[in-house]
Each structure stands twice: as structure tokens, then as C-alpha cells.
Structure 1
Amino acid sequence: MAIAFITGAGIRIGSAVARALGRAGYDLALHAHRSVKSLEAVAEELRGLGRHVSLYAADLSEPRQVDELGARVRADHPTLDVLVHNAGLYERAAFESITREQYRTMLAVNMDAPFFLTQALLPSLRAAAQPLVVHLTDIGGERAESHYAHYSVSKAALLMLTRALAVELAPHVRVNAISPGVVAFPESFDAAARASILQRIPMGREGSVEDVARVVLFLAREAPYITGQVLTVDGGRSAQL
């Protein structure tokens, strides 16, 4: 039975990816930090479909917890078919106000955790027939937006990690990234902010977390020759000036 490990799987994109892979027949290892109760609900839903689901809690901003998480997942799952780095930190802050702690935490969650979790789980990935690593990135890693300097830096680094690992881990382990656009507005965005963003999307609407989940499933099941790529799911927003 194929097995997938997803970080940040309790809510939003992570839970949609877990459901999509579970419905496609994957057993699941699911991680959360602040959304453990939601994660348990996702797990119960998938167990109802006959899937085996193991749960893990860890703060990915803490290196020790990242190392412990990697060791636990590797021990529980000597073979790992899909690894989805979905957990991420998103924060608006003026450049002059960003502290070293804010910067450290942003890079730790968005860049360091994927780096060292993949490293820890590499033996399990290499034991699989067609292993896949997926990074969830963002248009902010390629195009600057005011008040998100530390966030953009972390996602730009993740894009390069995608390409670097696609080269170094080939030909056996594939590594790709998915760059979602507006598929789930942050709760802090009011109606005016949402309307302003939607005006800049050629398709004229918000996407869904399921749109992203379907791309993960495509990469896992239908795209054995795709590696080192960033698949953008944004309704055309990044295609225009």
C-alpha cells in the first residue's frame, strides 16, 4: 500500500491534499501543530474509507522537534511514496519592524523544516518505487510584495531547494513545487481586500484547496517524468503584468 506524509494536514490545503490522496488509496501519515483537533477529524474521516492513518504533532520552528518528527516518521514508515511539505508560516510585517526572531521563525518553518525533513526521510523515499516530494510555495517567492520580505525570502529559498533536490536526488526521487494563488483567503482579509485581489485574477474568482490537491495527485499518479518544476495554480494571476 502506498503511503504519503503531509505536514500541516489539519486545515486548508493540507487537509484537502490528505483527503485527495486518501480517496485515491494512499495510507497517510499526517502532521499538525496548532490544528491537532482538526487533524484528528480528518484522520477519522479517512479511516472510515479504510485508510491507515498515523498522526504526528510537532512545532516545525524548533529544530529538535523537526529532527524528532523525521525520526519517528522514518521508523514508522520505512517506505514513503509521497512527501508533501505543506505547513507554512505567513505574516505581514513592515521590513523595519521584522525582528531576528520573526525572521528566524519564518525561515525555520518555511525552508529549514522541508530541508531537514526530506533529509531525514530520504531512506524511506529511496525505498519506494516512484517517490515524490512536493513543496508548497507561493508567487511571493518570485515576485515581491510590500510588507512580506521575510516571507518572500523563505519561499524563494524553497523554490531553489526544489530545483536543487530535483537535480541531486534524480533519477529516483522526483521533487516538484506547487505555487497556489488565491485558493483560500486568510481569515484576516476583509471584503474590500478580497475584492481588490479578485480583480487581478484573469479567471475572476477564487480557486479552491481542492484545485491544489488535484495537482498533488496528478504529480503522484500521472507525471513520472516531471521533476524540478513549479506548477502554478492561480487562475492566471501570475501571467499578467
Structure 2
Amino acid sequence: MATAFITGAGIRIGSAVARALGRAGYDLALHANRSVQSLEALAEELRGLGRQVSLYSADLSNAQEVDALGARVRADHPALEVLVHNAGLYERVPFESITREQYRRMLAVNLDAPFFLTQALLPSLRAGAQPLVVHLGDIGGERAVSHYAHYSASKAALLMLTRALAVELAPHVRVNAVSPGTVAFPESFDTAAREAILQRIPMGREGSVEDIARVVVFLAREAPYVTGQVLAVDGGRSAQL
């Protein structure tokens, strides 16, 4: 049975991707850090579909925990078909106020963890039949947004990592990125902020977590000749000035 490993699977996009891959027939290895209770509930739901589910917890800003996580998943799952790097940090800070610690933590979670987890799990991926790595990018990795300099830098680097690994790990391991626009507004956004953003989206609505999950399943099941690509799922927002 094919297995997919998803980081940050306890909530939002990560949980939607887990459900979609579970419904598509994948067994699941799921990671969370702060959302362990939600992850356990999700695991029970997926086991109800007949899926095998294993759970992992780690702080992806800590290099030692990342290494330990990679070793555990590799030992438990000698073959992986899908690796989804969904876990990420997102915070609004004026550029002049970003501390070295905030910068370090942002890049550790959003860039270093995907880099070194893929490296650790490469033997398992190479043992898969048609292995796929998916990075969760962001429109902010290609379009500048004020007050998110460290976040945007981390996502821009992740998109280049997508292309670099697609070239180096071909032909057996495919690597792509899914780049959401506005998906499931943060709770901190008030009505005025939400309306201002919606006015800049040609499709006139925010995306859903299921919109992202469907694209991940498409890449895994229906796109064996697609690698090194960044698929924007943003309602057309990145297509206009």
C-alpha cells in the first residue's frame, strides 16, 4: 500500500491534504507540533476509512528534532510515495523589527526542515514506485507583500529548492510546489481587511483548503510527467498587476 507523509497535518491545509490522500487510497504518516490533539482525531477519522495511520510530533525549528523525525519516519516507512511539506510559519512583522531569532525560526521551519527532511527520506522515496515531493509555497514567495520580508524570503527560497531538486532527483523522484493565494483567512483578519483582499482576486472569493488538497492529489495520481513546477492555486490573483 502506498504511503504519504505530511508535515503540519493537524489543521487547515495539512488536514485537508491528509483527508484527500486518504480518500485516494494512501496510507498516512502524519506530523504535527502544536496540533497533536487535532491530529489524533484526524487519525481516527482516517482509520475509519481503512487507512493505516502513524503519528509523529516534532518542532521543525529544532534541527535535532528534524533529524530525529526523519530517522523515525524512514525506519517506519522504508518506501514512500508522497512527501508533502505543509508545515510553515507565517507572521506579520515590520522589516525594521524582525529579530535574528524570528528570521532564523522562519527559515528553519519554512526552508531548512523541508530541505533536510527530504534529504533524510530520500532512501524511502527512491524505494517508491512513482515518488512525489510537494512543497507548499505561497503567492508571497513571488509577489512582495509589506511586513512579511522574512516569510517571503523563506517561500521564495522554497520555490527555488523545488526546481533544484526536480532537476537533481529526476527521473525517478518528482518535485513540485503548490502555491496558494488567499486560503482560509487567518482569524486575525477583520472584515475590512478581507474585503480589500477579495477585491484583488479575479474569482472573487478566498480559496478553500480543499482547493489545495485536490491539486496535491492531482500531482500524485494524474501528473507523472510534471516536475519542477509551481502550481498557483490563487483564484487568478497572481495573473494581474
Normalised-by-shorter TM-score class: over 0.9
Deviation at 1:187, TM superposition (A): 1.1
Displacement of 1:202 in angstroms is 0.4
Q: How far apart, CA to CA, are the structure 1 residues paired with 2:42 and 2:182? A: 23
Are positions 1:151 and 2:115 aligned together? no
Aligned 1:85-234 pairs, distance under 5 A:
85-234=85-234
The match for 1:44 is 44
Distance in 1 separating the partners of 2:209 and 2:122: 27
User: Which whole-Å deviations, capped at 9, do the CAs of 1:195-223 have from their partners, x for residues lacking one?
Assistant: 11001000001111000000000000000
The alpha-carbon deviation at position 19 of structure 1 amounts to: 0.1
Counterpart of 2:195 in 1: which secondary structure? helix
* 1:13 lines up with 2:23 in the alignment: no
Residue 56 of structure 2 aligns to a residue whose secondary structure is strand
The CA deviation at 1:14 is 0.2
- How many positions carry a matched residue from both structures? 241
Instruction: Report the counterpart of residue 56 of structure 2 in structure 1.
Output: 56
Secondary structure at the aligned position of 1:203 is classed as: coil
The alpha carbon displacement at 1:13 in A equals 0.2
**Superposition RMSD in Å:** 0.4
* C-alpha separation in 2, matches of 1:206 and 1:172: 35
Instruction: Compute the displacement of 1:186 (Å).
Output: 0.9
* Partner Cα distance (1:171, 1:32) in 2: 31
Using the alignment, how far apart are the partners of 2:17 and 2:136 within structure 1?
A: 11
CA-to-partner distance for each residue in 1:31-66, whole Å, 9 max, x for gaps? Answer: 000100000111000000110000000000000000
Structure 2, unaligned runs of 5 or more: none
In 1, the alpha carbon distance for the partners of 2:232 and 2:45 equals 29
Give how far 1:103 is off.
Answer: 0.3
Three-state SS of the structure 2 residue aligned to 1:25 is coil
For 1:42, the aligned partner's letter is: L
| C-alpha separation in 2, matches of 1:190 and 1:35 | 24
3-state SS of paired residue (1:133): strand
Shift of 1:143: 1.1
Structure 2: which amino acid aligns with 1:46? L
Q: Secondary structure at the match of 1:189?
A: coil
Runs of 4+ in 1 over 4 A off after TM superposition: none
Distance, in Å, in 1 between the alignment partners of 2:222 and 2:118 is 22
Q: Given residue 185 of structure 1, which amino acid in structure 2 is its aligned partner? A: F
TM-score by length of 1: 0.99
In structure 2, the residue matched to 1:237 is 237
Aligned to 1:82: 82
Instruction: Output the amino acid matched with 1:89.
Output: L
**C-alpha deviations, 1:176-204, integer Å up to 9, x for none?**
00000112111111111111100100000
Determine what percentage of the aligned residue pairs are the same residue.
88
- 5+ unaligned residues in a row in structure 1: which ranges? none
Distance 1:207 1:38 in 2: 22
Partner Cα distance (1:18, 1:154) in 2? 24
